[in-house]
Structure 1
């Protein structure tokens, strides 16, 4: 019973017999070899399952990574497209702003050029006004005082707005530094605000020019009227045309300053020119009157009117005034006019007679020398002779007469008028 065969409990190795036709093969399988084979088989199966699972999982992970990468690429491309569109918009805006800036700068430069031309036209009138004792009070008349910007093209083709005028290059100063003003005004304002301020400055300058011209014209008109009034109060027969009635009217139609400024400037400039010409005309008429002292700084020795004759001692009419001068002292024309007589004339001795405006004539007698001749035109204050003691005279002096329509009048009336009107001349 002890030798009963039980499968798997035998200690002897198993023998496997394989019959193939007439051939019979057998081999013995030891227990440890069977266990090894089973172990290898299990390991291969487990490895296959693991490799299959890894490949499947790897495909899923790669697919997910590729999908995520595709999503990221699409998002990146969308972002790039959005940024590119934004850059295009910004570039378009910058181009529009640059064009607007260039247009505005060109307009400012054109306005400054116009104002500069106006200043050059105004300069001679200002000089004439100053010579007449009229000068502008305050205000700006020089457009060069306003630094209008300019557009400069850089070597790379870009354009740059310059808000400060280029300063002259001094010795030892770098050329690039001297010609590289800041792109911004330097006070934190934007270019648009800076251009707006410059435009306002040019508006103020234009208004100042017009206001100053108008003020000068009003001053010239007031001065002319004062001169006429003072001349008439002084007894001078000054003839001026009566002012025309200045009636105006019409419906009120508001106008823009920028449209009317050129016409207003021309009208005011023409008015100033007329007033200065009228003022100078009045001054010319005054200078034609014998109101200048023919021997300034010398003492009056005999008045106009009745006096005791210095030679015979009887009462006589003195048709002029006598001024104490040494022989050879200069004698000047009392007013502008034309010489009608220059030579010997009886008791006057050597005499010069000048015809002036308003039917007035002047006589300068007892001269030692005469420097003018009949028909010659002389100006007020021009040297015409030298004093002496020729004719009916007791000693060197100047006999000065003023005659109106050939009738002797008091010369002191005109000399006193000359003292009052002198500041206007």
Structure 2
């Protein structure tokens, strides 16, 4: 027992004497562990900072792309407004049957992926597609206006009628040289819209010229062409004689209409013609309506296409109720049939 107690005391004393060294040993190990842990934390901080920097960079790229998309949206909205204005202008000019769907506003939205992140590629494709559609609409308006203007000019040209078209080649401009501002896309859009407007104004000029050409039927309803232009068998003498117009057999009292815009230049009787109304159209052409039973117009009256000017009759050298219709240039009779045929073709086109 004594030996055991002595040994225990010896161990205890030794431990007390060596406690500072053990403490320093344990402290040194803890310092190593803590130092290693702090090094690991520092590495993790560096990695986290790197990830944050990458995320910020990606976010910056996204924001930059979104800003570019926003600018494209502005151009798209401006483009749509211009196209809408051009469509309205085309409607007023009689181009209302164009196959253009511009009833709704141009919609712009950010496409997102399944995880809610913006799909910039899909969004960009949508914007590009919508801009292409509005550009196609502008091209469609310009093409339709150009084709129809060319048809009118061609038809009237074959009739010897010169169409007054405004000179779209005038390019006078000036001003001080200043640095460019704003979007280049927006400037190009305005130039495209101006080109479309030029085509519309050219079509308007051609269509206005058409209103002065006697290419519209002077009578409607139940009638038949009873005699043509040129040499024929005279209904009274039976011999060959020249017929200076077209005859349309119709019931007495049927309305007779002006074949074009113009001013009534004569109302009265002429030898062989009976009762007559004549209209000047201001382009070297006039029309004559004869064998009438009554007048609905007076000298000096401005008339338009389809204005009632007289009634069908059988006055003068006539075998029965009909309208004798003439087209004249410099008091020389022209065949009215090419004029009326051109009117039918243009009516089908327009």
TM-score by length of 2: 0.76
Question: Relative to 1, partners in 2 of residues 1:322 and 1:349: Cα closer, same or farther, differing over 3 Å?
Answer: same
Contact 2:164 2:209 in 1 (8 A): no
What is the distance in 1 between the residues matched to 2:149 and 2:100?
19
Contact 1:331 1:383 in 2 (8 A): yes
1:359 equivalent in alignment to 2:321: no
Tell me the residue number matched to 1:123: 84
Secondary structure in structure 1 of the residue aligned to 2:311:
strand
Displacement after TM superposition at 1:360 (Å): 0.9
Tell me the residue number matched to 1:185: 113
Tell me the residue number matched to 1:10: none
Gaps of 5+ in 2: 171-181
What is the distance in 2 between the residues matched to 1:103 and 1:414?
63
Question: Relative to 1, partners in 2 of residues 1:71 and 1:124: Cα closer, same or farther, differing over 3 Å?
Answer: same
Aligned-residue CA RMSD (Å): 4.0
Tell me the residue number matched to 2:10: 49
Tell me the residue number matched to 2:206: 282
Displacement after TM superposition at 1:201 (Å): 4.4
What is the distance in 2 between the residues matched to 1:423 and 1:77?
89
1:79-124 Cα offsets, whole Å, 9 max, x none, are: 3344344444434443444344334323312321222112211223
More deviation, 388-397/204-213: 204-213
Contact 1:335 1:379 in 2 (8 A): yes
What is the distance in 1 between the residues matched to 2:269 and 2:345?
34
Among 9, 21, 29, which residue is 1:68 paired with? 29
Gaps of 5+ in 1: 1-38, 150-162, 164-183, 247-257
Contact 1:119 1:142 in 2 (8 A): no
Secondary structure in structure 1 of the residue aligned to 2:251:
coil
1:144 equivalent in alignment to 2:72: no
Tell me the residue number matched to 1:238: 162
What is the distance in 1 between the residues matched to 2:219 and 2:34?
108
1:108 equivalent in alignment to 2:33: no
Q: How many pairs does the alignment contain?
A: 336
Secondary structure in structure 2 of the residue aligned to 1:358:
coil
TM-score by length of 1: 0.64
Higher RCO (CA-CA < 8 Å; seq separation 6+): 2
Tell me the residue number matched to 1:422: 347
1:80 equivalent in alignment to 2:5: no
1:304 equivalent in alignment to 2:229: yes
1:265 equivalent in alignment to 2:189: yes
Among 319, 336, 346, which residue is 2:244 paired with? 319
Displacement after TM superposition at 1:49 (Å): 0.6
Displacement after TM superposition at 1:362 (Å): 0.8
Displacement after TM superposition at 1:208 (Å): 5.6
1:287-341 Cα offsets, whole Å, 9 max, x none, are: 3211111124520112234555556777654332221112332322212222223
Displacement after TM superposition at 1:204 (Å): 5.2
Question: Relative to 1, partners in 2 of residues 1:375 and 1:115: Cα closer, same or farther, differing over 3 Å?
Answer: farther
Contact 2:291 2:324 in 1 (8 A): yes
Secondary structure in structure 2 of the residue aligned to 1:144:
coil
Displacement after TM superposition at 1:286 (Å): 2.6
Contact 1:136 1:216 in 2 (8 A): no
Contact 1:143 1:202 in 2 (8 A): no
Displacement after TM superposition at 1:259 (Å): 6.8
Contact 1:304 1:410 in 2 (8 A): yes
1:251-298 Cα offsets, whole Å, 9 max, x none, are: xxxxxxx97543333323222221222123223223321111112452
Contact 1:112 1:143 in 2 (8 A): no
Displacement after TM superposition at 1:76 (Å): 3.2
Contact 1:141 1:205 in 2 (8 A): no
Pair member with larger Rg: 1
Question: Relative to 1, partners in 2 of residues 1:58 and 1:345: Cα closer, same or farther, differing over 3 Å?
Answer: farther
Question: Relative to 1, partners in 2 of residues 1:66 and 1:403: Cα closer, same or farther, differing over 3 Å?
Answer: same
Question: Relative to 1, partners in 2 of residues 1:189 and 1:362: Cα closer, same or farther, differing over 3 Å?
Answer: same
Displacement after TM superposition at 1:238 (Å): 2.8
